[in-house]
Structure 1
Amino acid sequence: MQITAETPFKASIVPPSVFKNSADFLSPFSTNAQTVLQCTLKQPITCVGIGLHSGHQVRMTLRPAPVNHGIVFRRSDLPDALPIPARYDNVVCTRLSTVIARADAPDIRVATIEHLMAALHANGIDNALIDIDGPETPVLDGSAAEFDFLIQCAGKTEQDVARVVIEVLRTVRVEDDNGAFAELRPARAGFVLAMSIDFTAGAIGHQRHAMPFTLDRFRQEVGYCRTFVERKEIETLQKMGLARGGSLHNAIVVEGDTVLNPCGLRHPKEFVRHKLMDAVGDLYLAGHTLKAGFMGHKSGHGLNNRLLRSLFSSGENWRLAGQTARNRSEIHAAA
Structure 2
Amino acid sequence: MHQRSIKNPISVIGVGLHSGCRVSLTLKPAKADQGITFVRTDLPNTPAIQCHPFLINDTRLSSTLVDEAGVRVGTIEHLMSAFACYGIDNIIVELSAPEIPIMDGSSNSFLYLLSQAEIIDQNAKKKYIRIKEPIEVVEPDKWVKFTPFDGYKVKLSIDFGNHPLFKPENNSCEIDFSKQSYVDEISRARTFCFVRDIESMRNNGLGLGGNLNNALVLDGDAILNEGGLRFDDEFVRHKILDAIGDLYIVGHQVIGGFEGYKSGHAVNNKLLRKLLSHPDSWEYVTYDDPEEVPQSFHYVR
Q: TM above 0.5, one fold? A: yes
Q: Secondary structure at the match of 1:198?
A: coil
Structure 1: 5+ residue runs without aligned partners?
1-35, 325-335
Structure with the larger RCO, 1 or 2 (CA within 8 Å, 6+ apart): 2
**Which position in structure 2 is the counterpart of 1:150?**
113
CA distance in 1 between counterparts of 2:220 and 2:50 reads: 40
Counterpart secondary structure, 2:71: strand
Select which of 215, 218, 228 maps to 1:264: 228
Count of aligned residue pairs for this structure pair: 285
Q: Deviations over 1:268-316 (max 9, x none)?
A: 1000000000001000011211011000110000010000011111111
* Structure 2 residue ranges without an equivalent (≥5): 289-301
1:70 to 24, 35, 58: 35
Q: Secondary structure at the match of 2:181?
A: helix
SS of the aligned residue for 1:112 comes to coil
Q: 1:322 — aligned with what?
A: 286
Runs of 4+ displaced beyond 6 Å: none
Aligned to 2:125: 162
Contact 2:3 2:89 survives alignment (8 Å): yes
1:52-201 correspondence to structure 2 within 5 Å: 52-102=17-67, 104-105=68-69, 107-178=70-141, 180-187=142-149, 189-200=150-161, 201=163
**Which amino acid in 1 is paired with 2:106?**
S
Q: Deviations over 1:173-227 (max 9, x none)?
A: 102212x11100111x221111110113321244111112369611111100000
- Percentage of pairs with the same residue: 39
Aligned to 2:193: 229
Structure 1 residues 92 and 215, CA, compared in 2 at 3 Å: closer, same or farther? farther
Corresponding residue for 1:17?
Answer: none
1:99-142: CA deviation from partner (whole Å, max 9, x where unpaired): 0022x31x210000000000011011110000001000000000
Sort the Cα spacing of 1:157 and 1:216 in 2 relative to 1 into closer, same or farther, 3 A. Answer: farther
Q: Corresponding residue for 2:295?
A: none
After superposition, the CA RMSD in angstroms is 1.4
Aligned-partner Cα distance in 2 for 1:53–1:320: 36
- Contact 2:89/2:252 (8 A) holds in 1: yes
TM-score, normalization by structure 2: 0.92
Q: Deviations over 1:156-175 (max 9, x none)?
A: 11100000000111111102
Which of 298, 306, 326 aligns to 2:270? It is: 306
